[in-house]
Amino acid sequence: MNSTQIKCFLSLGKTLNFTQTAQDLYLAQPTVSKNIHNLEKEIGVTLISHKHRQIQLTKEGQYFYQILLRLSTEMENTIKKMQDSKITTLHTISIGYSGLPFEKQFLPIFIQLMQQKDKWNIELKAVSLSQPGILDKIAKHEIDFMIYQSDFFAQNSLPYSPMIEAGFSVIIRRDSPLKKYAQVPISALNKKIFLWDGNTPLSSVAKLKRALKEEISDNALEIQIIHKVSLATMLVQAKDGIAIVPSFAYDYNNQDVFYRYLDWDYTTKYGLGYVKEKENAPYFKDVITNMHKAINLVKEKWNK
């Protein structure tokens, strides 16, 4: 008794029609008849009868059909459970992110790349960097990798894998005279400045603040520190001032303001922070490689 014989009999028991069974199984009708005949011969029992040109299951055939149907259903359920178990046992890798527009562009691509090997399940965790305890989450392995600026991790001696390097950008109103600059010189910033900084002050922002004070006279400089990038755009739109944020925070979909590079010879890196043990994890190389690929794919779209 082979699988083809069983499939033919189960289908015939349902359709009671050789032609329909042949069509359902993509077999020739004589092939179906031969398989049923061989099955009856092998088990020594008549399974079907012909009455008035109609197919019927014999009493033995009905019993055998119910047994095979139950076994087939159990087999399908077992296979499904095994497949579901395989999905749930994929290793989950947690990635902390702050919600920058740039992240929303490349993270879906990164997830697709990671899932191609059918080994890793990515769990994204939105993290508010204005809240304390982020580094504790990394140390306790509640977050495997955190996407953020390099100087945030440098202050705490955590390993870091850089992905992209950039400077700072100026956010201005659409009617601002600063829009004429491709790169805005610091000397032209003579208005109120909303300067983004992390809840844990970053060395790159501290250097920028010193540069601003050195090049702009005190009576023309008013700096207000903000901790959310999303707030920067809102304040620029609502008030007479400009905002300075890392270029990683560039929102390409926001048509209400202009972004211009700040003409300042300093760059900072953006990438993944983690604990040292992660470098020995089986997924470490895949995470680093695929995030590089995802970011580069997004960068190519910018260039186009």
Q: Where in the chain is the domain with CATH 1.10.10.10?
A: 3-87
Say what the pLDDT of residue 144 is.
94
CATH architecture of the region 3-87: Orthogonal Bundle (1.10)
Mean pLDDT, all residues of the chain:
85
pLDDT, residue 279, reads 93
Domain with CATH 3.40.190.10 in the chain: 91-164+269-303, 168-266
Q: What angle do CA 213, 215, 221 make, to 5 degrees?
A: 50
Alpha carbon distance 11, 20 (integer Å): 9
pLDDT in tens, 59-78: 888 888 888 888 888 777 77
pLDDT at 131: 63
Q: How far apart are the first and last CA of the chain?
A: 62
Amino acid 155: pLDDT = 63
Is 168-266 a domain of CATH 3.40.190.10?
Answer: yes
Classify domain 91-164+269-303 at the CATH class level.
alpha beta
The residue whose two tokens read 């992240």 is: 103
Q: How many residues does the chain have?
A: 304
Share of the chain above pLDDT 90, in %: 30
Q: Is the pLDDT of residue 14 over 70?
A: yes
pLDDT band at 84 (very low <50, low <70, confident <90, very high): low
Least confidently predicted of 60-64, 126-130, 214-218 = 126-130
Q: In angstroms, how far is CA 56 from the centroid of its own chain?
A: 54
Tokens of 97: 């992110």
Confidence of residue 44 (pLDDT cuts 50, 70, 90): confident
R_g of the chain, CA atoms, integer Å = 33
Q: Are strands 48-51 and 54-57 parallel, antiparallel or unpaired?
A: antiparallel
| Ramachandran region, residue 174 (left: φ > 0; alpha: ψ -120 to 50; beta: rest) | alpha
